Structure 1
Amino acid sequence: MTSISDDTVVPEVKPAKGPLIYRQSIFTRLTHWTWAICLFFLLLTGLGIFNAHPSLNIGQESGFEYDNAILEFYAVNTDAGPRGKTKLFGHEFDTTGIFGMSGPDDRPQFRGFPAPVTIPSFTDLATSRVIHFFFAWLFVATMFVWFLASFINGHIKRDIIVRPRDIAGVPKDIVDHATLNFHRGRTYGPLQRIAYFGVFFILFPLIILTGLSMSPGFNSITPWLLDIFGGRQTARTIHFITMALLVGFFIIHIIMVLAAGPINELRSMITGWYRASPGTPVKPGEKP
């Protein structure tokens, strides 16, 4: 009970609960968690592969008499001892302890990315490649299953394809997210649609195609793919940047899950059931 004055007492009013709706299909949930596992191993093994040649270049080749690198990690000797360096678009930065040189002071490791963020933690290009390719093909197979199932059950049309009214609703959706005023409906909001459309129809295909274009075996089948991406080194750079964008998406995704209510969001991706906002229409079998 809440007291307003000495002689007036009113009952506390609990916020109304919305209905429990079935929001995520079994295919969406299985592919979601499979992708999460795949991307974890792809990222860390990819950094291990990157350490074998810790630079990003533009063009067909690298390491000759010209400088076509846009990013480089390396170590140099100085009067104060060895230091890790990062060169980005020609500008050099001291990144000792993170990039170029890391590890304990008495046993420094001269590598691009530090050991804790690579698989394996030691330098082993062959192992990194084997694990990377295994999860890459699992990633591709999962993507095929997702597209097929989502096309059949209408998930793509209902939740992913961006419509003109979604574009018009972006300003309000930005304000709602900034003020943590989330509308928990049956379908995704404008920002979610745009983000997921970008991931499924731009970033995922791009990272797969650039990965394939770096394969000499695949080049023999589709030599034109390297021409589209402007050379093997350019494809490698695009591949790396695309993964960085996916990592950025993942970080924002986790922040939004925490802000919108992690229990409700996790329940949706584990069981399929989601607590919607009050007033959301229910279907047979759902709980108002």
Structure 2
Amino acid sequence: MSIAHESAASQGPLIYRQALITRLTHWTWAVCLFFLLLSGLQIFNAHPTLYIGNQSGFGFDNAVLSMRAVDTPHGAEGRTTILGHEFNTTGVFGVSGSADDPSYRGIPAALTIPSYRDLATGRVVHFFFAWLLVATLIIWLTASFANGHLRRDLTPTRRDLENFPSDVRDHVRFRFHHGNSYNVLQKLSYCAVLFVLFPLIIATGLTMSPGIDAGFPWLVEVFGGRQTARTLHFLAMFLLVLFFVVHVMMVLLAGPFNELRSMITGWYRTSPDKNASEEEKP
């Protein structure tokens, strides 16, 4: 076998894996989620407390998370309370900035859009990218159903589920196989994002809209109250951020050039066929 042939075999074939519509919607979602997260944190800062139920305020004991500044003998401190457990988060949540110019806000300015206090602008940015995400999801669903991407690449098969334990072991050991299709962990995580988290964050966002509530009052009941919907909305975004972090880590570990190339050009370098390689040996 020649050196050129050996090099090609060691790398595996280059296949066209990602359709144009898949790549366009992928990057559109990435942009949307970036602006939705930071503008959402701007909106959260207007009242940095999450509740369960339909009511909120000082007269109720139904808060599950709060970020606030409190006065102490040593000065103002940031306090974050999660399910009744209080933590000192001075410098990050509640109180941030320098000692000479402290900022009393739940989320620091560097993590909000806009960075200064402007609820109106935050809401405009948030709603724009929220509807862009919804439109992109509808376009993706329509195209993926029409071109078979949904059935062919994302629906877990019986064989996928049987390979689930071995796929988990391979990922824990950082052993990545670059195949022609997604592995079972990818399929399950992508389906969770596209068919659970996206619909949940859209539905809870609509539930917080008085205009939508007027036309569909049952939405509030489905989520157990407006404040519960707000809490679930932030929980869904937290899980999306967690997915994004793990997703980026997997891209870096599996080979960033190959993974990014597939989402920019559509072309993906697969792992070599071990059986074919054995047959070609003298």
Check whether TM > 0.5: yes
From the two aligned structures, give the one with the greater helix fraction.
Answer: 2
The residue that corresponds to 1:98 in the other structure is 92
The residue that corresponds to 1:234 in the other structure is 228
The residue that corresponds to 1:218 in the other structure is 212
Q: How do 1:131-170 and structure 2 match up within 5 A?
A: 131-170=125-164
Answer whether contact 2:9 2:272 (CA < 8 A) is retained.
no
Q: CA deviation at 1:89?
A: 0.8
Provide the rounded CA distance (Å) in 1 between the counterparts of 2:55 and 2:23: 41
The residue that corresponds to 2:105 in the other structure is 111
Summarize the Cα distance change of 1:26–1:13 in structure 2 as closer, same or farther, 3 Å threshold: closer
Moved over 3 A (4+): 12-15
- Secondary structure class of the residue paired with 1:110: strand
Q: Does 1:25 align with 2:19?
A: yes
Greater shift after overlay, 142-151 or 178-187?
Answer: 178-187
The residue that corresponds to 2:277 in the other structure is none
- Secondary structure class of the residue paired with 1:67: coil
Provide the rounded CA distance (Å) in 2 between the counterparts of 1:270 and 1:91: 45
Q: CA deviation at 1:146?
A: 0.5
Q: CA deviation at 1:165?
A: 2.5
Question: Residue type of the partner of 2:207?
Answer: S
The CA RMSD measured in Å over matched residues stands at: 1.5
The residue that corresponds to 2:45 in the other structure is 51
Provide the rounded CA distance (Å) in 1 between the counterparts of 2:192 and 2:177: 21
Structure 2 residues without counterparts, runs of 5 or longer: 1-5, 275-282
The residue that corresponds to 1:208 in the other structure is 202
* CA deviation map 1:144-182 (0-9, x unaligned): 010001111111111212233222211100111122221
The residue that corresponds to 2:30 in the other structure is 36
Provide the rounded CA distance (Å) in 2 between the counterparts of 1:40 and 1:79: 39
* CA deviation map 1:243-288 (0-9, x unaligned): 00000000000000001100000100000000011239xxxxxxxx
Answer whether contact 2:78 2:89 (CA < 8 A) is retained.
yes
Question: Residue type of the partner of 1:98?
Answer: V
Provide the rounded CA distance (Å) in 2 between the counterparts of 1:77 and 1:269: 50
Q: CA deviation at 1:14?
A: 8.8
The residue that corresponds to 1:79 in the other structure is 73
Q: Does 1:246 align with 2:240?
A: yes
Answer whether contact 1:162 1:197 (CA < 8 A) is retained.
no
Q: Does 1:177 align with 2:167?
A: no
Summarize the Cα distance change of 1:13–1:123 in structure 2 as closer, same or farther, 3 Å threshold: closer
Question: Residue type of the partner of 2:67?
Answer: F
- Secondary structure class of the residue paired with 1:53: coil
Q: CA deviation at 1:13?
A: 8.3
Provide the rounded CA distance (Å) in 2 between the counterparts of 1:92 and 1:177: 35
Structure 1 residues without counterparts, runs of 5 or longer: 1-11, 281-288
User: Which of 124, 129, 144 matches 2:123?
Assistant: 129
- Secondary structure class of the residue paired with 1:71: strand
Greater shift after overlay, 215-224 or 161-170?
Answer: 161-170
Answer whether contact 2:176 2:254 (CA < 8 A) is retained.
yes
The residue that corresponds to 2:185 in the other structure is 191
* CA deviation map 1:91-117 (0-9, x unaligned): 111100011110111111110000000
The residue that corresponds to 1:9 in the other structure is none
Summarize the Cα distance change of 1:163–1:47 in structure 2 as closer, same or farther, 3 Å threshold: same
- Secondary structure class of the residue paired with 1:274: strand
